[in-house]
Amino acid sequence: MTNKKFVIKPSVLNGEVSVSGAKNSVLKLLSASLLTDDDVILRNYPASLSDAEIHRQMLIKLGKVCTVNGSTLHIKKNKGLQSDLTWNDRSIRSTLLMLGSILTRNGHASVPLPGGCKLGERKYDIHVYVLESLGAKVWGDDERLYASCEGRLKGAEIHLSMRSTGATENAILASSLAEGVTNIWNPHIRPEVLDLIAMLNSMGAKIKVFGQERIEVHGVKKLSGTNYEVMPDNMEALTWAVGASITGGTIKINNFPFEHLEVPLIYLRESGCVIFKHGTTAIITGSTPFPLDISTGPYPGINSDMQPILAAYASCAQGISNIVDLRFIGRYAYAEQFEKMGVQTEIIGNMLKITGKGKGVINAANVIATDLRAGISLALLALCPEAGETTISNAWQIERGYDNFVTKFEMLGGNIRVI
């Protein structure tokens, strides 16, 4: 629903919320379900995510039966796995992983060109390299990507030129059913990648991780089904933490992935955010934010998705904050929307400079969610003006990555109206 808008009035977030399954993990797990004809059950499944729903519908097109019951997804075989994904709706980035998964099962595959957020240059050359290293031929046209191989894919030494999450995952998926041993050098080791490996190993794969150096995959002939719980979404957890802090509220956050947010939480604590930990529960109490100086980097550092949310936090601080994104250079399209809300920003080379003057300067405005994380950062800022209402166009972007967003937002006291 591309014409959806959110109208948000100033609010203080208080209450209790549970973190849903991770958007950045579940799409990879859905692709992994293509590697078997056996039943796959995913628990803590974020059913309301539009990207997850698109992926689920794609699985159905490919011959799966996918039944959602609350936060559980049951994937079963309906007919043989189709090799060609016919799809005329909005595409998603995960079609690249579906290409690798179908290819290693069937020996040939075709999918629509990937979609997702437009974050600078997000080419797929490295995915082509991965599949070609395993013995495939890959080609494309203006609308689709194609791949084929003779017999099974063959194990190989894959040397990634950059720590790409998607390329690492595609190499894991495609090599899991390849013949022989594959070593993936210079992989991007982050929680979502480890979640994918854990699920595949529960299906009978033989995958070992040797730190940031390499991932070793011993190909097997067949994978079985599994009953697996999706990891909690660290982006959602961080969002509610920032929401509590900048609005002066207190939120109890259940299923909080502390182990996946160690570095971001250090920065938040040092900049005034009050965080209490009890097991897997966090209690975040609002405070006056201090400026931030951050740079994105490989896990366990601050990933690129986090920086717009932390920019919203910095906008409510008194003083100058500097943000550098080393992964997606110039991922600051949201800065123009921040300006509409009274936030003073300046892009200097690869750095975004935010001159914060406290929450008092945040104004209600009409803004546009240019991508998923930009959208949620605007929703957070919309809580902070003294009065007025902020209208966020392209609000569907937010629901791509936040399960039951409006329900949870209202449950925490957020004043929101959907148009």
φ/ψ (deg, to 5) at 175: -80, -15
Structure tokens at 148: 């084929």
Strand 293-295 with 281-285, pairing: unpaired
Q: Name the catalytic one among 117, 273, 316, 384.
A: 117
Nearest residue to 106 via CA among 40, 167, 207, 174: 174
Block residue for tokens 């929401």:
243
Largest CA distance in the chain: 65
Residue 117 annotated among the catalytic residues of the structure: yes
Please give the structure tokens belonging to residue 154. Answer: 């063959």
Nearest 10 degrees: Cα torsion 41, 33, 160, 180: 110
Q: Is 312 left (phi over 0), alpha (psi -120 to 50) or beta?
A: alpha
What tokens were used for 354? Answer: 């935010």
State the Cα angle at 296 between 319 and 50, rounded to 5°.
105
CA distance to 24, 103, 214, 294, 399, per residue, from 240 (Å)? 17, 39, 34, 20, 15
Pairing type for strands 64-69 and 72-77 reads antiparallel
Nearest to 153 by CA among 99, 213, 215, 92: 99
Which residues are the active-site residues? 117
